[in-house]
Amino acid sequence: MSLAVCPGSFDPITNGHLSVIKRAAKLFDEVIVVVMVNYKKPHGCFTVEERVSLITKCVEDIPNVKVDAYGGLLADYTKMKKADAVIKGLRAVSDFEVEFQQALINKKLNPDVETVFVTAGAEYMYLSSSVVKQVCELGGDVSEFIPEIIYNDVVNRIKERMTNQ
Ligand code: ADP
């Protein structure tokens, strides 16, 4: 059984993330999407529990995908799960430098795991969670950027956060 881990902040999950997850699910027997709790950005827009729940709704119909959260090192998580690969999505050359460095460090920390880079669909090249939040906060339409099944949850949460600020 091959196992891949898809790590990220997913604050919130976008169609770009989902496209990467679907590709991973075709390449590996099992995929775990893991919300990494970033100690540098402890307060995202969505709580970790909310992010896990949003992702879970989006992958409900993909039987070999599970969702989890982790607050430590990705290398320790991959060791614990005995994963074969880490899947990272690349948008543009700008992603490459950071991802390349992370892949090399992760390889050093856990030599048993390979980092596999995939692209999302070309239509999502420009998409990030930050773009979704910014457009939504300024009243723009984000329906093309996030899965339909979580559209209301995401928009309501971002608006609620705006009014409480
Ligand atoms: P974001 O930059 O949107 O906050 P995350 O930290 O949640 O993203 O990203 C998790 C992974 O998903 C990273 O490998 C990131 O490069 C990838 N990713 C995010 N959005 C896209 C996209 N639109 N196309 C390809 N990969 C993406």
CA distances from 159 to 14, 93, 116, 128, 156 (A): 17, 32, 36, 18, 5
> Does position 35 have pLDDT exceeding 70, yes or no?
yes
Residue range 65-85: mean pLDDT, rounded: 97
User: Is 23 designated active site?
Assistant: no
Q: Provide the pLDDT confidence category of residue 42 given band limits of 50, 70 and 90.
A: low
Structure-block tokens of residue 27 = 């390449």
Average pLDDT over the chain, rounded to an integer: 93
Gap from CA of 16 to ligand 1 centroid (Å): 7
CB of 106 closer than 8 Å to CB of 75: yes
Tell me if 129 sits within 8 A of 10, measured CB to CB: yes
Q: Say which DSSP state 122 is in.
A: G
Buried b (16+ CB within 10 A) or exposed e, 99-130: beeebeebeeebeebebbebbbeeebeebbbe
129 flagged as catalytic: yes
Among protein residues, the one whose CA lies closest to atom 15 of ligand 1:
89
Q: Indicate if 128 belongs to the active site.
A: no
> Checking phi first, is residue 82 left (phi over 0); if not, alpha (psi -120 to 50) or beta?
left
